[in-house]
Amino acid sequence: MTVREGKIDSFALVEVTGRVNSENSETLKDFLQELGKREQQVLIDCSALEYISSSGLGALLMLLKLIQNKGGILRLFSLSPRIAEVFEISGFDKFFPIFSSLEAARRADT
């Protein structure tokens, strides 16, 4: 798993790649916790995310709560069919705003 952070418009752009499993999900959680405290608008690029365990989903859930509590924006985009399925099964697709591409996620409210 790797996590990279950049900037696009007013959004913090985070790319999570590889496999997020129970061994490395704590690292992701720490990163997202710190990010959620300082950022208001976050886009997450899932195009190179191969696998996410339940503890990884938990880290994203925590970020969503941090961002929503201060009225911010969190959007995920470019989920592979496998990852989309994981979101669908757990019901996470019902409350995570998910977009097909970076462009769609950026322009969602315009």
Partner 1 sequence: MGIEKQGQNSEVQKLRDDNQQLSRENLRLQRAVEELGILNEIATAINSTLAVEKILDLITQRCVHHLGAEQGAVLLLEEQKAAKPFQTICRVGDTSHQRLPFRLDDQLTGWMLKHRAPLLINDLCTDQRFATGVGDLFPVRSLLCAPMVCKGRMTGLLVVFNKKTETGFSVDDQRLLAIIASESGQVIDNARLVEKENTLLLMQEEMRLAQEMQSNLLPKEPPRLPGYNIAGKSIPAKEVGGDYFDFLKLDGRRLAFCLGDVSGKGLPAALLMANLQAAIRGQALAGTSLTSCLERANSLLYRNTSPEKFATLFFGCLDTEGHVLHYCNAGHNHPFLIGKETEPLRLSAGGLALGCFESFPFEESQVQMKPGDQLVVFSDGISEAVNDRDEEFGEERVSDLAATNQDASAAELIEKILQDVGRHAAGRAQHDDMTLVVIKRLT
Output the CA angle 25-30-33, nearest 5 degrees. Answer: 120
Instruction: Work out whether 54 is an interface residue with partner 1 (CB under 8 A).
Output: yes
One residue of 12, 16, 46, 66 binding partner 1 per CB under 8 A: 66
51 lines the binding site for partner 1 (CB under 8 A):
yes
Closest CA to 44 of 33, 32, 54: 32
Q: Which residues contact 32 (CB under 8 A, 6 or more apart)?
A: 14, 59, 60, 62, 63
From the list 9-17, 23-31, 70-78, 102-110, the region that binds partner 1 by CB under 8 A is: 23-31
d(Cα 21, Cα 36) in Å, to the nearest integer? 21
Smallest separation, CB 103 to partner 1 (Å): 29
Q: Which spans of this chain sit near partner 1 (rule: CB under 8 A)?
A: 19, 21-23, 25, 29, 50-51, 53-55, 57-59, 61-62, 65-66, 89-92, 94-95
